[in-house]
Amino acid sequence: MQGFAEGRFAPVAAVFEKSIADGGAALSVTVDGETVVDLWGGWADAAGARPWQADTILNVYSCTKTMTALTALLLADRGELDVAAPVRRYWPEFAAGGKGEVTVAHLLSHSAGLSGWAEPVTVEDLYDWEKATALLAAQAPFWVPGTASGYHVVTQGYLVGEVVRRVTGRTVGAVFRSEIAGPLGADFHIGLPAAEDARVAEMIPPATAVTMFAEPTPLQVNASTNPVIDVAVTGSRAWRAAEIPAGNGTGNARSLAQALALLVTEREAVARRALEVQVDGRDLILGLPLRFGLGFAVGNGMMPNPNTLYWGGLGGSLVLVDLDARTTFAYTPNKMADTLSDVRGLELAMAMWEAMALI
């Protein structure tokens, strides 16, 4: 383990050290925008030949969604995007299939009824932005938009990303880079240049197959198998180079906590807007009770402080924005758990809140 944890956060470092026993990871915590924990350690590969370095980065899967949402929310804060407006205002073709009244807020809250593609798609199709977005624009929603959430596992990035593209004329990765990552010096990429490949940690799949759903519904089957995305594909140049804004962001805990700290230090009004619950109930894909705000789940009732935004990624990555404690938290491991109930990130978050005397 390397890095630092300010004195009161020593217990967090102890929990983190245990978490890297069979893989590698990074952990970062900010308070009022200042970094108070910045730790990394373990191995960046399955063979244990590459030590995790301070600048190691990795595929953070669905934590990418928080960076995509942050990009859209900053555009909204500047008045360039109205999240309450119908998507067709920015993307006229999207009105097909009875989606004329679907709003940008529906996209951000996973309640647009577009949790997957109706047509069969391949992993290669995910690299084709025009095809992926055109198919979504043409299809009808799987349920009445706004009535329930159904986690838009891969599709959300294309949906929100295309709105960003229509508004700005640039891809979401380009906007994120110029408006957020660049000014902050945050080492996070939606579309990774080949020159950075040597720093990327290998994602280590579970030792045993993990059953996603015991008795999957048709919606769950569609979301989890169309297409099937093997862990190994995350190591390919094609995957890393593409913009898949719901799941192929490459960065580390430091960069995620850094970017999200904007919501605490400079853009608290954006965070307060994101906290507005859009849909509340059992998610049709994940099968869990969830409260979605704009681009994040809302932790009211689940976490020590009610004004907490959060989301996680396959493989164990977790991010939190606790507005009450003025804190951001990010954990990014490369060893994927053998169970869906991966609590490593939550254990670290609980240790953080304990250190802050909040629980």
Task: With CA atoms as reference, report the closest residue to 322 among 311, 307, 332.
Answer: 307
121, two tokens: 């798609």
Separation between Cα atoms, residue 326 and residue 314, nearest integer Å = 26
Q: Which of 46, 74, 44 is nearest to 58 (CA)?
A: 44
The type of residue at 65 is K
Beta strands in 170-269 (DSSP E): 250-251
109 noted as active-site residue = no
Neighbours of 4 (CB within 10 A): 11
For Cα atoms 246, 250, 251, give the angle at the middle one, nearest 5 degrees. Answer: 120
Residues of the chain by 3-state class (helix, strand, coil), percent to 5: 40, 15, 45
- 289-292 and 327-333 beta bridge pairing: unpaired
Candidate list 19, 28, 62, 149, residue with the active-site label: 62
Positions marked catalytic: 62
